[in-house]
Amino acid sequence: MYRDVLGAQVSQPEPQEEHGVYTVFVEMPGEGAKVELIHPLGDASPIANFLDRNPSGGIHHICFEVDAIDAAMADVRAKGIRTLSEHSKIGAHGKPVVFLHPKDCGGILVELEEA
Amino acid sequence: MYRDVLGAQVSQPEPQEEHGVYTVFVEMPGEGAKVELIHPLGDASPIANFLDRNPSGGIHHICFEVDAIDAAMADVRAKGIRTLSEHSKIGAHGKPVVFLHPKDCGGILVELEEA
């Protein structure tokens, strides 16, 4: 759909063993944002629950870039936003990422990624 | 959260009577994409069902800009993607928009907006 209908540049699927997903990176022509398609990999994929609740698929999370992940984590915590892990992890792009608690973000799973 | 935690420019809420929602426009610093916050307005808001299913909130749809809405609608239909209305409507930004059928878009409600 992204390639054939919307004209996006779409990568080959890449297994991300440590994250339990396959990723496909989608670059829309002229858009400043990217779409990342994720598909479960393995028996304990962290997106299995999401697909149980949304068998047709859906929008799993949104991601914002930050300059420095540690400073961003300290900042959001100081403002009462919980992070889902104590420390950042290396995400699918090889950069540090952290997820914020959906209950603190209007029901939305928010990822921060170091730019 | 977008203003105080993430440092975004956040508009005042604007009632959109014809769409049954209040809108708040969020511009992230340095991001190419925008976030639109929507809140139900009136008894027959089109997002009432979504909030019944997602009482904490959630990500309702994603929107891509297109050059010309009529050409885009003809193009996506020719590729087997259903639109939720026969004709485009004027959206919250005063520009023609149309929604694509989530079943044809990986479970995701996709909006096209004329740029």
Amino acid B89 reads K
Domain locations in chain A? 1-60, 61-115
Given a cut of 90, whether residue B63 has pLDDT beyond it is yes
* A54: nearest Cα among A101, A109, A114: A109
Mean pLDDT of B20-25: 95
Mean pLDDT of A69-94: 94
User: What is the Cβ-side half-sphere exposure of residue A9, based on CA atoms within 13 angstroms?
Assistant: 6
Q: What is the mean pLDDT of chain B?
A: 92
Percent of chain A residues topping a pLDDT of 70: 98
Contact check, Cβ <8 Å, A75/B32: no
Lowest mean pLDDT segment, chosen from A29-43, A93-107, B34-48, B83-97: A29-43
Mean pLDDT of A85-106: 93
Given a cut of 90, whether residue B95 has pLDDT beyond it is yes
Contact check, Cβ <8 Å, A1/B106: yes
* Token couple for A76: 């959001």
Contacts (Cβ under 8 Å, ≥6 apart) of A56: B102, B103, B106, B107
CA angle B54, B55, B56 (to 5 degrees): 95
C-alpha–C-alpha distance, residues A36 and A73, integer Å:
23
Amino acid A55 reads P
Instruction: For the domain made up of B61-115, give the CATH fold.
Output: 2,3-Dihydroxybiphenyl 1,2-Dioxygenase; domain 1 (3.10.180)
A4-41, pLDDT tens digit by residue? 888 899 999 999 998 899 999 999 877 678 899 999 99
- Other Cβ atoms less than 10 A from the Cβ of B114: the count is 19
C-alpha–C-alpha distance, residues A53 and A64, integer Å:
25
Cα four-point dihedral sign B113, A30, A59, B23:
negative
**Top-tier CATH class for A1-60:** alpha beta
Mean pLDDT of A56-73: 94
What's the pLDDT score for residue B32? 73
CB of A72 within 8 A of CB of A112?
yes
A72-81, pLDDT tens digit by residue? 999 999 999 9
Interface test with A, best of B36, B59, B79 (most A CBs within 10 A): B59
Confidence of residue B92 (pLDDT cuts 50, 70, 90): confident
Q: Do domains A1-60 and A61-115 have the same CATH topology?
A: yes
Contact check, Cβ <8 Å, A106/B56: yes
Interface test with A, best of B28, B36, B108, B113 (most A CBs within 10 A): B108
Residue in A with minimal Cα distance to B111:
A6
Q: Please classify residue A97 by burial: count the beta carbons closer than 10 Å to its beta carbon, then call 0-12 exposed, 13-18 middle and 19+ buried.
A: buried
Under CATH, which number does the domain B1-59 receive?
3.10.180.10
What's the pLDDT score for residue B31? 61
φ, ψ of residue A25 to 5 degrees: the values are -100, 130
Q: Please classify residue A67 by burial: count the beta carbons closer than 10 Å to its beta carbon, then call 0-12 exposed, 13-18 middle and 19+ buried.
A: exposed
